[in-house]
Amino acid sequence: MVILQLVQAFLVGGCLCALFQLIVTVTHWNPQYVLIGSISLGAILMPFGVMGILEAVGGAGAIATFMDAGAAFAGTLVAGFTAGNWMAFIIIFCVVVLQIPLGIFAGALYAKLHPQEFEGEFQAAETAPAEI
């Protein structure tokens, strides 16, 4: 049972990633716009139950993607508007906002561990105004 759930998560998550990769490869669109499109698509598909089916089949294979973030935003906002329950929306919003300090911390740590990658660019940026 557990193995089956893991295989389903792998297949659903893999298929979602392959679908959006296919869009990027064929259209050559900016990946950032494709990711924005995936969040919006998740929000649009939520009322039709498509994301619910993907979550039921794939578990975290669908839940832990950008696409489901859109559906989670829409679903929790509906719960807020109709039932006055904003807690789920606040939790999801906090998870997204927390990515900022976490990502910056990871980036700063990367800069600390790979100073040679930053020194060259930093010197170039510093000397550029003087050359002008």
Partner 1 sequence: MEVLKPVGRAFLTGGLLLLAAEAVRLILLAALGAESPFVIPLTLMIMCLFAVAIFPSGIYNKWTDYGFIGAMLPISGLTAGVAAAYCGARQATGSKAAGVKAGIMLVVRLSGSGLLVAFVVALIVSFVL
Residue placing its CB nearer to partner 1 in the complex, 53 or 91: 91
Q: Of the candidates 27, 96, 129, 131, which one interacts with partner 1 according to CB under 8 A?
A: 96
User: CA 24, CA 78: separation in Å to the nearest integer?
Assistant: 31
Residue ranges in 5-24 that form contacts with partner 1 under rule CB under 8 A:
5-6, 8-18, 20-22, 24
Residue ranges in 32-71 that form contacts with partner 1 under rule CB under 8 A:
32, 34-36, 38-40, 42-44, 46-47, 58-61, 63-67, 69-71
DSSP string, 73-127: HHHHHHHHHHH---HHHHHHHHHHHTHHHHHHHHHHHHHHH-HHHHHHHHHHHHH
